[in-house]
Amino acid sequence: MDLQQVKNDLEQRLPKARYEHVLRVTDTAKKLAEEVGVSVEKAEIAGLFHDYAKFMDKDELLELLKRDEEYELYAQYHAELWHAPVGAMLAKERYGVEDHDILQAIRFHTTGRAEMSELEKVIYIADLIEPGRKFPGIEELRQRIDGEPLEDQMTECIQHTFKFLVQRYAVIFPHSFDCYNEHVRRRKEQ
């Protein structure tokens, strides 16, 4: 795959700030992948594509989503979530990305899920902590997870996301609950 071509495409599709976020996520994902022994090449592709569909029109997203096996579920939740499965769909259809793990990493980068692969966790974490992120508590989160096993990093990140969502009375997507519960159970067993 010609990654420069993907970058050019992204630059056209996304506002400048979002494009730069994508580059920082990709960079962060590659470093984390290297640290934890995940394929850096796969992390790069998943990182580049993770927000591919982020700025598509809501109606267009919904139309594409109709072909998704979880359409009924996604359609009941916030449109903010739709770019993730559609991004995976377009990476496959427009760029021939066939690798299931890469596609899943794109698909679940916003919600997480139970039984995430290592690559999925790398992309989820990189999206949350890339150096451009400025939310309250981000520095503490970065320090807390730095150098920790990937699974523990993911536990901290999903807990952080839950705190954030609950504080805002946000509706929580079922896969995110599954992810959170899995990590809390694992921690209790330790």
Q: Which residue has the tokens 């998943």?
A: 46
Query: Would you count residue 44 as binding Fe ion (CB under 5 A)?
Result: no
Specify the residue, 127 or 182, whose C-beta has the smaller distance to Fe ion: 127
Shortest distance (Å) from residue 190 CB to Fe ion: 30
Q: Which of 51, 118, 120, 182 binds Fe ion (CB under 5 A)?
A: 51
- Identify which range of 44-52, 116-124, 142-150, 169-177 contacts Fe ion by CB under 5 A: 44-52
The smaller minimum CB distance to Fe ion, of residues 44 and 127, is found at: 127
Segment 122 to 141, residues that bind Fe ion, using CB under 5 A: 127
Number of residues that bind Fe ion (CB under 5 A): 2
Shortest distance, CB of residue 58 to Fe ion, whole angstroms? 15
One-letter amino acid identity for 119?
A: L
Question: Does residue 120 interact with Fe ion by CB under 5 A?
Answer: no
To Fe ion, the closest distance from the beta carbon of 127 in angstroms equals: 4
Measured from the Cβ of residue 138, the count of other Cβ atoms closer than 10 Å reads 15
Tell me which residues touch Fe ion (CB under 5 A): 51, 127
